[in-house]
Each structure stands twice: as structure tokens, then as C-alpha cells.
Structure 1
């Protein structure tokens, strides 16, 4: 809000308590213009503050006459005194120390959660160094990142590594692990697909053999009954012990019965 008011050249009307003096007798054009601008600036600043808050808050500040009084109300109501700010800082720091990285959480999600808390501390006017965030991540990080931490320890001094460098290294390691996992899963699916197709082909071959369709590919010893080699002798239609269900005679099956 302060930056917004500065862009509109209205921050002076909020920060400084000045009184717009009445115009002298026979004012010049410059005096009239300056008087009008200073008066309008105070009104515009107050209007901007009123439109920036909800209707509930507007009802509480309508009785205040100047933009400076409204700004003081905001600071007292929402920023608090030094004692309140100190308690808020302690609560945020306690929350920061309690944060742990979840098993399915990514580095970006975890770092964003930490930085959100740290930014609240900094907004309250307390210094919070990036080095403290780096230490937190190095201590709390899961075991799956131990390899990259060991690599960083061997290649450089961890006490001087920046937060951006650490996060980039961890995210790169995380991406490589995800790519390997996707490759292994894809390989498993391919293997399962091949096994499935192979199983279907084997079943089909077995079914063909059971249905007597293997005669096109298999060769048997000559049958003693019909002299052909495209079937085993116990499957021959001309066996002397087989009985026809059409004519009731022995020596052939009904498919080749002459009747």
C-alpha cells in the first residue's frame, strides 16, 4: 500500500501531518494551483485507503478525519507494537523449526513452505539469513538425497553454498530419480506386455494342437490304418476299434461314413 501511494504521489499526505493554509488575498495562479493540489492530495490519499479495505473495516475508520489517522489505525490494529511483533516472530520461528519434509513432497514444495514462513518473519522486521534455511534443509532432508549431499561436500564448502545452488542441485537429483523411475516402470510394462502376448500365443498354439490343427506343421510316422503321416495313429478315422454313430459299424467315424 505504501508503494502504491508513492506511485500516485500521495504518500506525503499520509506520512506527514500538514495543514492546508487558506489562500491569501489576491492569490496568484501558482498559489491557487498549489493550494488545490495539496488539498486534493489529502483527499485522494484518504480515498485510496478507504477503498483498499473491506466494508467491515471501513465502518471502523469512517470517523477518522485524515489519511494519517487511518494509517496509524492500520499500524496499531494489524502490525501491533514491538511486543506483539516479537511474539509473532517467535511463533513463526517455532513453526519454521518444526517443519519436516514429507515422503511424497518435492523439493520445491518443501522449500516454498519454508520460504513462506521466513518471509513472514522478514515482513515483521526481523532478519532471517538464507544460511539458516540451507542448514535446515541439509539437516532435515530425507535419506534419498544423501548421495547429492555427499557430492556437494566433496566438491565445495557447504558453509558457503547459497540457497539457490542447494535447491538447484537437489531438484536436479530429484528429476534424475523420477526419470529413472519412469524408465523402469515403462520397462516393466513392456515386459508384461510381451509376456502377455507370449502367453496368448502359447495358449493359441496349445488350442490349435488340441483342435487337430497342428497337422499342417507336425509330421508323424505313417499311420498303420490309412498310411498318412499327418496325424497320430490313435486319432485315425479308420481305426478298426472305432464305431460309427450313424451306421453302427466298426472301422470308421461318422464324418467319413458312406451312408
Structure 2
């Protein structure tokens, strides 16, 4: 895919694990290649009596779909490839992967319940740095967001300040007195 500026060795390969992360990376790549819409929306063959404009549009869409399918094939490991190798459109590929590995409604709810519990029980340990704790918290909150949980920055900021060890009490008080926590971003914290 030299024309698109991507180096094949840098493409993410889905091997059955980490679907959500792979999906985010693929959406960025597909957007960069300007083929994300064909993957999500798909295309239909025009009727036999269609005008030349419709036929030309169909050919362009089919070409974009082939480009997207080539990219998808490059980003899927051998065991998973067997599940999608006979599929005709990239939209179908995406749907098979989403249904097999994505967070369906029930799976998403179960996963979200587990993540909410982890989030609520999470606190910094004595041996952990604030940066390490913050990284653990970010992984959980980002995964919750992938599952469509609306978790605002102010809630995360409050969680961090509330769960720090007593040695940080003076820092927490200083932050609470000098800043408006309702508008403070994670990056500012």
C-alpha cells in the first residue's frame, strides 16, 4: 500500500485478541485511506436499467471496497482470516468480526459491569507512583468509553483525588482550593 503511505510492517494484525484496540487502529487507518465509509455503509449493485452515472459510481465504490478488503486481509491473522476469506464485501468482513469479537449488547453490558466494579474499587497502592496509578485508571476508563459509558473527565479527576494515599492530602487540598474541579481535564490534573 505504498500509494497510501502505509508501511505494511506497521499495520496492526488481529489474531483474536484485543479486538477493541485493533478496531480503533483500523478505523484510523481506514479513515486515513478515505475508505471508512465504504466499510461501514457498504454499497449496492445498481439495477440493470441504471444510467451510466449510477454504473460509474458503482464501479468506483467497488474499487474502494476492494482497496478496503485488501487492507483488511493484511490486518487479519491466519486463524481469523479463514472466517472472512470467502466474504465478498468489506462491510460483511467488518460485521463478521464485530459479531464474533466485538462487544454485542449483552456482552458489552456484562463487560461494563465488571469495569464499573474495577473502577469503583480502584485506589492507589503504597508502592505505586501516581503516574502508574493514573495509567491503570486510564486503561479502565478508556475501556469503559469503548463500551459506550459516558465517563466525564471531572469524574475521573475526582476519583484520583479521592483515592490518593494520605501522604498526598496537602496536594489534594491545594488542587481543590485553587482549581475548579468541574472543568478540570485529566491532562491538567
TM-score by length of 2: 0.72
Conservation of the 8 A alpha-carbon contact between 1:96 and 1:118: yes
Output the CA distance in 1 between the equivalents of 2:60 and 2:178: 62
Structure 1 unaligned spans of 5+: 168-259
Structure 1 equivalent of residue 3 of structure 2: none
Structure 1 equivalent of residue 33 of structure 2: 8
Output the CA distance in 2 between the equivalents of 1:126 and 1:63: 35
Quickly say closer, same or farther: Cα 1:19–1:120, change in 2 above 3 A.
same
1:167-212 deviations in Å (ceiling 9; x for gaps): 3xxxxxxxxxxxxxxxxxxxxxxxxxxxxxxxxxxxxxxxxxxxxx
**1:137 pairs with 151, 157, 160, which one?**
160
Runs of 4+ aligned structure 1 residues displaced above 6 Å come to 30-33
**2:110 pairs with 84, 87, 90, which one?**
87
Output the CA distance in 2 between the equivalents of 1:36 and 1:164: 46
**2:43 pairs with 8, 12, 18, which one?**
18
1:129-168 deviations in Å (ceiling 9; x for gaps): 1222222222221111112223334445555544334x3x
**1:66 pairs with 68, 86, 89, which one?**
89
Structure 1 equivalent of residue 128 of structure 2: 105
Structure 2 equivalent of residue 39 of structure 1: 62
Count of paired positions = 163
Structure exhibiting the larger radius of gyration computed from Cα positions: 1
Structure 1 equivalent of residue 187 of structure 2: 164
**RMSD after superposition:** 2.8
Conservation of the 8 A alpha-carbon contact between 1:23 and 1:31: no
In the alignment, structure 1 residue 51 sits paired with structure 2 residue 74? yes
